[in-house]
Structure 1
Amino acid sequence: MKTARVSVSPLVRTICLVVIGMLFTKVKADDWPHWRGLFRNDVSAESSGWDGKSWIKGELWRATVGLGSSSPLVVGPHVYFVGWSDNQDSIYCFDVSTGEEIWRQSYPSPLYGRFAVGDQALYSGACSTPECDTASGLLFTLGVDGDVNAWDTNEDGKHVWALNLHDRYQVSQRPEVAKRKRTQRDYGYTSSPLVVGEQLIIEVGAKEGNLISLNKHDGTELWRSENRDEAGHTGGPVPITVEGESCAAVLTLRNLVVTEILGPNAGKTVATYPWTTDYGNNIATAAVAEQSVIVTSAYNHSAMCRIGISLDGASKMWETDGVASGVCSPLVHKGYVYWAWRGVHCVDLETGVEVWVGGKVGSQGSCIVTSDDRLIVYANNGDLTLVETAGRSPHQYTELASYTALSKTDAWPHVVLSDGRLLCRDRDGNVCCLAVKQ
């Protein structure tokens, strides 16, 4: 007899998981323990700090942490960074209030992945944002050459286990996948691991599976995905609930793929939607909007697409023409989609129609949204801008304030807002911590 699936709404499921997580872990509402924040969507529970007249209230501290595009993480009183220098990746733990270094751990690592092809001035050093599991205190890092490491933050970063994805799974160089010739690119490993319960899920891009699940405590393999695409170059897999089933969405080198990640069907492909880009530049992380996923890229696509997901597959809901993001991941908030790439853009979530665009943003940009409905945009070589969302400014781009945080190199890493502190980093590893409240 076939067992019926009980449908649980994504909202109810999310609320339950959040409540349980806060009861049994040390996570706080203003923590930023994952790529794109507490809920992995660049939505902050904190106010921007705008008081009607001023925004940035001063600089608290500065530091240098090494080369890379990895974003900071904040958990409780600590902030974590990963950076490359002197042929090694280093994991730093600082006091978030003072910038004092508490501990540091390092391991040998090359500047580029072993099969690196193209754009090496942009993709080098520590590219993947670490993943912090607040339940166990483990911090997981993924190096550009496939080195996975687990560190115990409760014991000054004590090393717990390690493996190399190339060595274990014989991952080969990413092929040329676009119709246009001479567009092959391989940036090494860029995506953040994803902790779900006892699992550490990584986009490996191996012939055995695009996603591979490991036991977070010792690195032993739990399952492999049916999909066997090569890994994309995005920020990592994103949790999504599809008709009550826990899944992960990932933009591979070839497709948007949604995979079940819990229960007896873990590893099963739920939906696939083709999305191949010249230069292998599926860069922007997929964004979940209820039971749909938004993907975007430039080059031969130059489009953004909303894709409905069900247990029966994927279907296109809308697709823009020429309205796209080449790098910045889409941010979904209160019926709109925002991103910062060649301007700050706002698109209606239901229709895909662009609502407004503005601002001086080039190819380097990211944004987060605050609890008082403002966007914090980090762009160019370290420019911060505070912008009204469409909820406050529905018809035009409205800029409230700007501030130059850093000025040396590309502002690829996302900013982090935690407990009134705004943490910024550039690709050279220069870090500054700014106060947005008195």
Structure 2
Amino acid sequence: MKPLSCTTSSRTLASLLLAVLSSLSSHGESSSWTGWLGPDRAAQAQGFEAPQTWPDKLTEHWRVEVGEGYATPLVIGNRIFQHARQGDDEVVWCLDRTSGKAIWRKQMPVEFVPGRNGESHGLGPKSTPTYADGRVFTLSIIGVLTAWSAEDGKRLWTRDFREYFDVSHPYWGTATSPLVEGDRLFAHTGSCENGALFCLDPETGKDLWVRKEEANCYSSPRLETFEGVRQLVSFNHDGLCGYDLEDGSLLWKHSYPHLGNNQNTPTPARFKNVLVVGGESRQVFGLRISKSADGWNAERIWRHREAGLEMSSPVVQGSLLYGFSPLKTGQFFCLDPLTGAMKWKGTPRMGENAQLLSIPGYILTLTDDGTCRILQATGDKENVVHHYQVSKGETWAAPALLHDRLLIKEKNHLTSWGFAE
């Protein structure tokens, strides 16, 4: 199967970029949430200033039915983009940020049958789209990558990776989110047994290079610079790896294979030259990345048995790391990312999953029961300064936090909340 492509004239592209940049400037750069875990995939809410006094309740601006799925909404200027599923189709919405009204809606039929008792997680997309240069890139539950015009929703090109694999998604569906930097688009697709890391031209969807050595998993990659070298950091089926951006060659690898149903899911967090990550039913650990005359080295410097990471990605605030462990039926924790020393473990029985975002002085958390908690970011104890009920149903998708609002993707709805009374 050949990739579809669409040639955009320079005049049309220039007009589109001008429109997007104008929209951005009218709201400020802090209004953007361009992909998984926000800017740089560091779960850092840029531009958000915590109120001097947290309000007793949040203000609901609007609530829109968009379909099921775990994708985080994107925000570019005054537009919100949401990937979801309605009926037999996956849909891409473009909504007005102020009102929630639809600007455009596009759909594609997607047939998906989950394996290994994954039915409870639904049929909706689990990957969060990414935005770059006037395009929104979505990765379907079955691993079909599509580029859409952010201006009008025109489908620019599609890559169906079944041209490489008989099965192009893991048992529970594709959950890794695509990533763009400059003129390169990265996507790790395929099944748990047979996958590949693709580097594509974002304008055409054509391969720049393909690496077939490591299989796919449920984690999303991030871009980092170690020892002056920009590289793609990927937590895949086989472990944690660093790849050269130019040709996909392996720089370093820490073997940490996905075993049975114990998936590799969280996106690693970084503090200085240490990456912190963990897998389901296994502990959390710290990996120091360095380079010497003998080459790259990925050294595990600590492992913690009092906490784990299952589906929740950890975040860094200041010099401390915060996470959500499945132990004790779900509890938050705080540790030193350089030594692994536990600072505190929080209240047990918090839920099955939580998403975390870092804001100055605080950690915003969203548990799967729809509770948003504001934790004071200190290393002495768990301190919940306020909590809000932002959904009556389950909330498994990571939120998007802007300078003036919080976007929550429920099972079938997207809701906009404000912190002002």
TM value normalised by structure 1: 0.83
Structure 2 residue runs of 5 or longer lacking an equivalent are: 1-20
Paired residue for 1:73?
A: 74
Q: Does 1:215 align with 2:201?
A: yes
Paired residue for 2:10?
A: none
C-alpha contact 2:58 2:388 (8 A) present in aligned 1: no
Whichever residue aligns with residue 147 of structure 2, its letter is: A
1:238-261 CA-to-partner distances (Å, cap 9, x unmatched) read: 111122111111111121111111
Q: 1:48: Cα distance to partner? A: 5.4
- 4+ residue runs over 6 A deviation: 206-209
Give, in whole Å, the separation in 2 of the partners of 1:309 and 1:171.
35
Question: CA, structure 1 residues 197+208, in 2 after alignment: closer, same or farther (shift >3 Å)?
Answer: farther
Q: 1:313: Cα distance to partner? A: 2.6
C-alpha contact 1:112 1:145 (8 A) present in aligned 2: no
Q: Does 1:148 align with 2:149?
A: no
Paired residue for 1:401?
A: 386
1:313-328 map, 5 Å: 313-328=297-312
Q: 1:293: Cα distance to partner? A: 1.7
Paired residue for 1:238?
A: 222
Whichever residue aligns with residue 355 of structure 1, its letter is: K
Paired residue for 1:267?
A: 248
Question: CA, structure 1 residues 141+96, in 2 after alignment: closer, same or farther (shift >3 Å)?
Answer: same
Paired residue for 2:352?
A: 363
1:36-92 CA-to-partner distances (Å, cap 9, x unmatched) read: 001211111233543325254411100111111111111111111111111110001
C-alpha contact 2:218 2:263 (8 A) present in aligned 1: yes
Q: Does 1:139 align with 2:136?
A: yes
Q: Does 1:158 align with 2:154?
A: yes
Q: Does 1:188 align with 2:183?
A: no
Paired residue for 1:253?
A: 237
1:161-172 map, 5 Å: 161-165=157-161, 167-170=162-165, 172=167
Question: CA, structure 1 residues 60+412, in 2 after alignment: closer, same or farther (shift >3 Å)?
Answer: same
Question: CA, structure 1 residues 407+111, in 2 after alignment: closer, same or farther (shift >3 Å)?
Answer: farther
Give, in whole Å, the separation in 1 of the partners of 2:56 and 2:73.
21
Q: 1:274: Cα distance to partner? A: 1.2
C-alpha contact 2:239 2:255 (8 A) present in aligned 1: yes
Paired residue for 2:18?
A: none
Of 304, 324, 342, which aligns to 1:354?
A: 342
Give, in whole Å, the separation in 2 of the partners of 1:402 and 1:193.
32
Give, in whole Å, the separation in 2 of the partners of 1:128 and 1:172.
17
Paired residue for 2:3?
A: none
Give the secondary structure class of the aligned counterpart of 1:257.
Answer: strand
Q: 1:221: Cα distance to partner? A: 0.3
Quote the RMSD (CA, aligned, Å): 2.2
Q: 1:309: Cα distance to partner? A: 1.7
Q: 1:204: Cα distance to partner? A: 2.0
Q: Does 1:295 align with 2:277?
A: yes
C-alpha contact 2:143 2:190 (8 A) present in aligned 1: no
1:286-317 CA-to-partner distances (Å, cap 9, x unmatched) read: 22333332111231x2x111111234231112
Give the secondary structure class of the aligned counterpart of 1:321.
Answer: strand
Of 308, 311, 314, which aligns to 2:288?
A: 308
Q: Percent identity?
A: 21
Whichever residue aligns with residue 267 of structure 1, its letter is: G
Size of the alignment, in residue pairs?
Answer: 387
Give the secondary structure class of the aligned counterpart of 2:120.
Answer: coil
Structure 1 residue runs of 5 or longer lacking an equivalent are: 1-21, 175-184
Give the secondary structure class of the aligned counterpart of 2:344.
Answer: strand
